[in-house]
A and B are shown apart, each in its own frame.
Chain A
Amino acid sequence: MAFAAFATAEVQPQAPRKKSRIALFLLLPGILYLVLFFLTPLVSLVLTSLQAPSEFGDIGQYDYAFNWQNYVDVVEAYWPHILRSFGYALAATVLALAFSYPLAYFIGVKARRWPLLQSLMLVLVIAPFFISFLLRTLAWKQILSDESFIITSLKALSLMAPDAHFTGTPFAVIFGLTYNFIPFMTLPLYTTLERLDLRYLEAGSDLYANPFTVFRKVTIPLSMPGIVAGTLLTFIPAAGDYVNASRDFLGGPDTQMMGNVIEANFLVLLNYPAAAALSIILMSAILVLVGVYVKRSGTEDLL
């Protein structure tokens, strides 16, 4: 469903029936893989989320049950984290879109006449992937730490209060999320903008639309597939991210997201049912949000 937004070509009519057996045969490895590595863990996750503690067991020992109370408990205990996750992810997505659109527009439209510049800029967008994102996030922690040049200069210029911090604040987490997911926003935007037919823009200005109206009424709607793909590729992983918000990286005690509490429940508190219930809540919330978003943005019938 959500992936319909990524489809660029029109859906072709079904292939002749005769070949269906071959198609099935070719699909078999994929189906087996999905059953083994997607469906089984998913079922296991649902079952775990409903487990109850063993009556005489140790900490971390659970029995299969139908303890739906787990869901109520985790929502009661962690609703701020749930809201924070989606809030931060939304903020990071909006910021990434605001940074990436002009960038992608420049690479995909303005730089068309200079293919070399175009490829160079694309390489620069992808280049951060050559280094592990953990290292890059740690580097940012250094750059933005209290003793760093940037923060001390800001404090010297009285642009920051002397006792203020940057790391450990929601701004730092949103900054980290935005930074880490910008390529996922830029690349899909670039692919749609690169194919944008400039004759439509000319037709718009010929029909009395000023440059801003042309952008709003023609460019944005025509680049909608890229916007939808980019925002999904940013929002979904950002909502589940637990690195940027972690205390070891850019976050602090007050910036914990769902990923962090899932991690803590699973690895520290050994509360597997709570971790599983949180995971299922995160997954379903994303599925619902994405479904509504794709439906609302009406990208199904674009191209």
Chain B
Amino acid sequence: MTVSIREFAERGADLELVGIQKRFPGFTAIEELDLTIPAGSFFALLGPSGCGKTTTLRLVAGLEEPTQGRILIGGTDVTSTKAHQRPVNTVFQSYALFPHMSILENVGFGLKRRRIADAEARAHEALRLVELDHLAQRRPAQLSGGQQQRVALARAIVNRPALLLLDEPLGALDLKLRRQMQLELKSIQEEVGLTFLHVTHDQEEAMTMADTVAVMNKGAIEQMGAPEELYELPRTAFVANFLGQSNLFTGTVVGTTDTAITVDVQGTPVIVPTARAARHQGEVTIGVRPEKVALHREAPAASSERNLIGPGRVIDVSFSGVSTQYLVAVPGLGTLTVFAQNIGFGPVAAEGAEAWISWEVEHGFGLEDEPGETTRFPADTDTRSIAAQRRDALVAELEEH
């Protein structure tokens, strides 16, 4: 399928990135990237700032040129095509609405450039879709942040691009507007059937909206898949900690059966299903999500269905309404996090209490990473160290009071 900018895209187009590399003077933004996004899907590129996700988006939009590799949209190689010739539109993080034009002129800008008939009527239609038609004659500066964001969205989708790029467009909105816009984006996508490439650092946004999420770190994709898949079975420590939180342990594989491996973690045997573990021998890193973990006040009976760790001591209890987060320090294993739903009234364990923790064997997962890398993170951009710093800061603050 060849895509011309003179006519509307009938449907979304596939996006293919082949062996993309992008170097800037002094640093490499993208090491090596291969990616295929099927037509009509909602694809989220998730990662911390500086991971290369915005550069990827700019490469697709044609605002940067790759150092190496090819970009294909709908099967057509557009690598050497200029931005204005690509059937792609972007909702910029800063919105970039033209300040000297009215809202209507802003939305109609792309249509006019493509000489599409009755641009004005179509622009009004797009504004009605985002419920802002009554502000068509205003200037962008007269609109609130949320309204500007919706105008930016209307300005992009009115062109019916084969591929719509979203650069953290919801970053500046408050929580309620954000939810509203997320819903709106989803329904537009279902209605119009475009291909969406959404770049964000907000894992919740990525998971609620996208069909497929790719977690990016240091210029490369760490793991890609459906949101549930990524969450339930992270492959690397980075994914395990960037997408939600994880309790990670390292140890040596001491036993193997057909269905499970047993890992010796500082003398405690922990069982992980073979199918959910990436490495089956030697030093491995295993983990479990905090909400899968149960907290016990007394040592529960040992069972082959559950892994049991303890005793440890509860060092922090933070109550957040729906759930309570406990930090349990276990000698030799470090601090583990437990999320407990508040089914009864209030926390079940007080600070300083002795506690055991357990989880069902099938909830554990084993990572691909070399264990050495997972115990200590060198970069300060890494989420776990940031979380640890925040926690320390919170603890310090609490102690002051």
B128 CB-CB contact with A under 8 Å: no
B114 CB-CB contact with A under 8 Å: yes
Pick the residue among B5, B96, B109 that contacts A199 (CB under 8 A): B96
B113 CB-CB contact with A under 8 Å: yes
The stretch among A182-190, A208-216, A268-276 that forms the contact with chain B is A208-216
Looking at B90, B109, B155, B159, the one whose CB has the most chain A CB atoms below 10 A away is B109
What mask results when residues 264 to 303 of chain A are scored 1 for a CB within 8 Å of chain B, else 0? 0000000000000000000000000000000000000111
What mask results when residues 195 to 234 of chain A are scored 1 for a CB within 8 Å of chain B, else 0? 0010110111111111101100110011010000000000
B96→A203 contact, CB < 8 A = yes
In the bound complex, residues from chain B placing their C-beta under 8 Å from that of A222 are: 99-100
Pick the residue among B84, B97, B99, B159 that contacts A205 (CB under 8 A): B84
B83→A206 contact, CB < 8 A = yes
In the bound complex, residues from chain A placing their C-beta under 8 Å from that of B45 are: none
Interface size, B (range): 20 to 34
B63 CB-CB contact with A under 8 Å: yes
B391 CB-CB contact with A under 8 Å: no
A57 CB, nearest partner CB in chain B, Å: 60
A207→B63 contact, CB < 8 A = no
Decide: A206 near B88, CB < 8 A? Known: A199-B94, A301-B139: yes
A298 CB, nearest partner CB in chain B, Å: 9
A225 CB, nearest partner CB in chain B, Å: 11
Which residues, 331 to 357 on B, are CB-close (under 8 Å) to A?
A: none
B15 CB, nearest partner CB in chain A, Å: 16
B8 CB-CB contact with A under 8 Å: no
- Count residues of A near B (Cβ-Cβ below 8 Å): 23
What mask results when residues 181 to 207 of chain B are scored 1 for a CB within 8 Å of chain A, else 0? 000000000000000000000000000
A207→B82 contact, CB < 8 A = no
A200→B98 contact, CB < 8 A = yes
In the bound complex, residues from chain B placing their C-beta under 8 Å from that of A199 are: 92, 94, 96
In the bound complex, residues from chain A placing their C-beta under 8 Å from that of B94 are: 199
Which residue of B has the minimal Cβ distance to A301?
B139
Decide: A213 near B89, CB < 8 A? Known: A203-B96, A206-B83, A208-B159: no
A206→B113 contact, CB < 8 A = no
A213 to B99 alpha-carbon distance, docked (Å): 17
B110 CB-CB contact with A under 8 Å: yes
Decide: A221 near B100, CB < 8 A? Known: A207-B113, A208-B113: yes
Which residue of B has the minimal Cβ distance to A199?
B96
What mask results when residues 54 to 85 of chain B are scored 1 for a CB within 8 Å of chain A, else 0? 00000001110000000000000000001111
Pick the residue among A210, A218, A221 that contacts B84 (CB under 8 A): A210
A221 to B98 alpha-carbon distance, docked (Å): 10
In the bound complex, residues from chain B placing their C-beta under 8 Å from that of A205 are: 62-63, 82-84
In the bound complex, residues from chain A placing their C-beta under 8 Å from that of B98 are: 200, 203-204, 218
Looking at A207, A213, A218, the one whose CB has the most chain B CB atoms below 10 A away is A207
A47 CB, nearest partner CB in chain B, Å: 45
Pick the residue among B89, B100, B139 that contacts A206 (CB under 8 A): B89
Which residue of A has the minimal Cβ distance to B107?
A207
Decide: A207 near B99, CB < 8 A? Known: A199-B92, A301-B139: no
A192 to B83 alpha-carbon distance, docked (Å): 25
A206 to B61 alpha-carbon distance, docked (Å): 7
Q: Give 3 nearest A-B pairs by CB, closest first.
A: A207-B110, A203-B96, A208-B113
List chain A positions with a Cβ less than 8 A from chain B.
Answer: 197, 199-200, 202-211, 213-214, 217-218, 221-222, 224, 301-303
Instruction: List 13 contacting pairs A-B, 8 Å CB cutoff, sorted by A.
Output: A202-B63, A203-B90, A205-B82, A206-B63, A206-B88, A206-B90, A209-B109, A210-B82, A214-B84, A218-B98, A224-B100, A302-B99, A302-B100
List chain B positions with a Cβ less than 8 A from chain A.
Answer: 5, 61-63, 82-85, 88-90, 92, 94, 96-100, 109-110, 113-114, 139, 155, 159
6 extra A-B contacts, CB within 8 A, seeds A206-B83, A208-B159, A209-B109 = A206-B84, A207-B89, A207-B110, A208-B113, A214-B84, A222-B100
